[in-house]
């Protein structure tokens, strides 16, 4: 019974945000799921063109005010921070939420809107070495005119304080990762005059971010650009490039392209400048689309969201970049935790947390944004 209290105490917000717990609640959830599966089995069989692999489970169902979960960050206290950009229905304001075990609660609900788009659009996020939280913005859906930003949430005693702009002038800031005192940010739409299929990894030092807002210079090789990429546009028509971002046990960065699924390794010189960027040659399976990713630096395995094929793939960097599919579902609504276009993953211990973005592009396995809005988990062996 005790596990029900957070739900009840959560009041209005949590009315629609139900954790799947280990108690009687879960038994009820399982029963419900069984019924739904039976009811939809015929429909699924008709539209399913991909294999069902693995067994992702439901972590949370979110209400309509939190319709598009995305970025995940591990906080110093072991909680997770989830960004909710609400891109599927952005009449609902974006926010950040906090996950503590099986409880989901508001973290920051007053995100500063970009002055011209009048929207906040938080994507990936990460705590810096200064203890503050940084999040990238995707304003690209609101404006193609380089309105996206990198924002800083000042933290005090574990609580969010003032939120300020530390970098502006991105086109589509997407993933962030801190490595030492440097934050790396992907811009999935960093186009240059001679390349309208461009994207980039940018880098900023903590020292620079404490000196006032950095203004990027669009349409030139801004000095913060570490590496650039070009998307080969396929039948999806999507030209978004560099998306998920993390680094391996040796400090090499990896990013993947949303539009064409290419995975890149970017190695650095001791002074932090670019040494080399290379296209990863994969074995076992081609990946057509890469969204969020995380690297387990104890094994150097990449866990990545294959958004287009509604799957979580594992790329083993110590074993010839062999690809295996950890989980995959057909076109679902997310009921019971089945994958519903995964966008971001976070590994904490052996538990892989998954945000089901559920906002499809053309030719994606996921056919439509739908209720329920969900988070899934997979417990690794
Ligand atoms: Ca473009
Ligand atoms: Ca859904
Ligand atoms: Ca769906």
Q: Which residues pair with 98 in a beta bridge?
A: 81, 105
Residue 26 tokens, joined: 């879960």
CA of 334 to the centre of ligand 2 (A): 5
Q: Given pLDDT bands bounded at 50, 70 and 90, which one contains residue 19?
A: low
Q: Are 368 and 356 in contact (CB under 8 A)?
A: no
- Average confidence score pLDDT of the chain: 90
- Overall size of the chain counted in residues: 381
Sequence-separated (6 or more) residues with CB below 8 Å from residue 191: 171, 197, 198, 219
On the CB side of 72, CA atoms within 13 Å amount to 28
What ligand has the least distance to the C-alpha of 237?
Answer: 1
Quote the pLDDT of residue 50: 85
Give the single-character DSSP code of 337: G
Is the pLDDT reported for residue 196 higher than 60?
yes
The residue among 9 and 288 whose pLDDT is bigger is 288
What ligand has the least distance to the C-alpha of 144?
Answer: 1
Quote the pLDDT of residue 104: 96
* pLDDT mean over 58-74: 97
On the CB side of 168, CA atoms within 13 Å amount to 10
CB atoms within 10 A of CB 53: 15
Quote the pLDDT of residue 102: 87
Quote the pLDDT of residue 18: 52
Q: What is the DSSP string of 109-165?
A: --PPPPTTT----EEEEEE-TTS-EEEEE--TTT-SSS-EEEEEEEEETTEEEEEEE
Strand 173-179 with 159-170, pairing? unpaired
pLDDT digits (tens, 9 = 90+) for 222-247: 999 999 999 999 999 999 999 999 99
User: Which of these, 362, 352, 346, lies nearest to 327 by C-alpha position?
Assistant: 352
Q: Given pLDDT bands bounded at 50, 70 and 90, which one contains residue 40?
A: very low
Structural domains in the chain plus CATH codes = 2-379 (2.120.10.30)
CA of 200 to the centre of ligand 1 (A): 11
Q: Are 152 and 134 in contact (CB under 8 A)?
A: yes
Quote the pLDDT of residue 226: 98
CB burial string 115-134: b at 16+ within 10 A, e below = eebebbbbbbbbbbeeebbb
Q: Given pLDDT bands bounded at 50, 70 and 90, which one contains residue 107?
A: very high
Is the pLDDT reported for residue 22 higher than 80?
no
CA of 311 to the centre of ligand 2 (A): 15
Quote the pLDDT of residue 44: 33
Rounded percentage of the chain residues whose pLDDT exceeds 90: 85
d(CA 68, CA 296): 25
Quote the pLDDT of residue 48: 52
Is the pLDDT reported for residue 216 higher than 50?
yes
Q: Given pLDDT bands bounded at 50, 70 and 90, which one contains residue 20?
A: low
CB burial string 5-44: b at 16+ within 10 A, e below = ebbeebeebbebbbbbbeeebbeebeeebeeeeeeeeeeb
What ligand has the least distance to the C-alpha of 231?
Answer: 1
User: Which of these, 317, 334, 257, lies nearest to 282 by C-alpha position?
Assistant: 317
Sequence-separated (6 or more) residues with CB below 8 Å from residue 90: 119, 121, 141, 142
CA of 140 to the centre of ligand 1 (A): 10
Give the single-character DSSP code of 335: G
CA of 265 to the centre of ligand 3 (A): 31
What ligand has the least distance to the C-alpha of 330?
Answer: 3
Residue 23 tokens, joined: 């108690």
Q: Given pLDDT bands bounded at 50, 70 and 90, which one contains residue 85?
A: very high
d(CA 200, CA 80): 27
CA of 170 to the centre of ligand 1 (A): 12
Question: In what order do the strands lie in the sheet containing 351-356?
Answer: 18-19, 57-62, 373-379, 351-356, 342-348
The residue among 23 and 63 whose pLDDT is bigger is 63
Q: Are 210 and 152 in contact (CB under 8 A)?
A: no
For 40, the 3-state DSSP assignment is: helix
CA of 22 to the centre of ligand 1 (A): 45
Q: Are 173 and 148 in contact (CB under 8 A)?
A: yes
pLDDT digits (tens, 9 = 90+) for 113-166: 999 999 999 999 999 999 999 999 999 999 999 999 999 999 999 999 999 999
Is the pLDDT reported for residue 204 higher than 90?
yes
Is the pLDDT reported for residue 14 higher than 50?
no
User: Which of these, 143, 140, 137, 230, lies nearest to 185 by C-alpha position?
Assistant: 137
In terms of C-beta density within 10 A (0-12 exposed, 13-18 middle, 19 or more buried), how is residue 250 classed? Answer: exposed
Alpha-carbon distances, residue 59 vs 13, 100, 152, 205, 334 (angstroms): 16, 12, 28, 35, 11
* pLDDT mean over 97-126: 96
Quote the pLDDT of residue 326: 98
* pLDDT mean over 41-47: 35
């Amino acid at each position: 019974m005790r596990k029900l209290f957070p739900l009840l105490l959560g009041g209005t917000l949590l009315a629609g945000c139900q954790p799947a717990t280990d108690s009687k609640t879960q038994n009820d959830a399982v029963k419900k799921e069984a019924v739904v599966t039976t009811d939809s089995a015929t429909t699924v069989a008709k539209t399913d063109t991909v294999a069902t692999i693995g067994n992702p489970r439901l972590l949370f169902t979110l209400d309509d005010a939190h319709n598009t979960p995305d970025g995940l960050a591990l906080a110093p206290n072991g909680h997770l921070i989830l960004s909710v950009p609400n891109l599927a229905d952005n009449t609902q304001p974006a926010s950040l939420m906090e996950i503590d075990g099986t409880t989901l609660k508001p973290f920051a609900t007053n995100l500063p809107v970009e002055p011209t788009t009048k929207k906040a659009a938080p994507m990936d996020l990460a705590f810096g070495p200064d203890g503050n939280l940084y999040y990238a913005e995707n304003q690209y859906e609101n404006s193609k005119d380089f309105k996206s930003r990198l924002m800083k949430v000042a933290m005090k005693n574990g609580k969010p304080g003032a939120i300020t702009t530390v970098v502006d002038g991105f086109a589509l800031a997407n993933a962030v990762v801190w490595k030492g005192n440097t934050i790396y940010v992907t811009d999935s739409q960093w186009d240059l005059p001679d390349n309208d299929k461009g994207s980039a990894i940018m880098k900023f030092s903590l020292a620079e971010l404490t000196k006032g807002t950095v203004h990027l210079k669009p349409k030139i090789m801004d000095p913060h650009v570490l590496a650039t990429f070009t998307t080969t546009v396929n039948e999806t028509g999507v030209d978004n490039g560099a998306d998920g971002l993390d680094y391996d046990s040796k400090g090499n960065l990896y990013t993947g392209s949303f539009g064409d699924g290419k995975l890149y390794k970017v190695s650095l010189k001791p002074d932090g400048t670019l040494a080399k960027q290379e296209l990863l040659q994969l074995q076992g399976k081609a990946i057509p689309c890469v969204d969020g990713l995380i690297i387990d630096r104890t094994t150097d395995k990449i866990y990545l969201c294959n958004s287009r094929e509604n799957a979580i793939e594992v790329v083993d960097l110590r074993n010839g970049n062999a690809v295996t599919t950890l989980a995959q579902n057909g076109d679902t609504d997310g009921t019971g935790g089945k994958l519903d276009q995964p966008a971001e993953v976070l590994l904490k211990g052996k538990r892989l947390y998954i945000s089901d973005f559920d906002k499809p592009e053309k030719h994606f396995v996921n056919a439509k944004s739908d209720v329920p809005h969900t988070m899934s988990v997979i417990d690794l062996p």
